[in-house]
Amino acid sequence: MSKRAPALLIDDMLECIEKINSYLEGLTFEQFIDDNKTTDAVVRNFEIIGEAANRLPDEFRHRFSDIDWQRIRGFRNRIVHDYMGIDFQIVWTIIERYLPDLKKQLLSAKEARSG
């Protein structure tokens, strides 16, 4: 497992979410897929989110089982191992539908750990 504390891994994940949101601010899907730097940056941050989730101790993941850790790690594996086959429509859907909830869940987990 990681030598980084769970709180730091959660901070890493939250930082990546903020980066993704800032990279995409004001962009349409078409603008996103036409900008290789932005698509690369977004994918890289999803990789980090998945890697951080993978490094969390099982006890932590069980304690915060409302977060779909398996799906987060699975998405990371998919984009890392099938990097030439990334479906950016799926990436965009994840950003719009699931990333805001993940951010809220991670903030709650962080608060519960420090509170």
Q: What amino acid positions are annotated as catalytic residues? A: 76, 81
Tokens of residue 68, six digits: 């779909």
The answer to whether residues 4 and 50 touch, using CB atoms and an 8 Å cutoff, is no
- DSSP track, 35-86: -HHHHHHHHHHHHHHHHHHHHS-HHHHHHTTTS-HHHHHHHHHHHHHTGGG-
d(CA 40, CA 45): 9
* DSSP character at residue 6: H
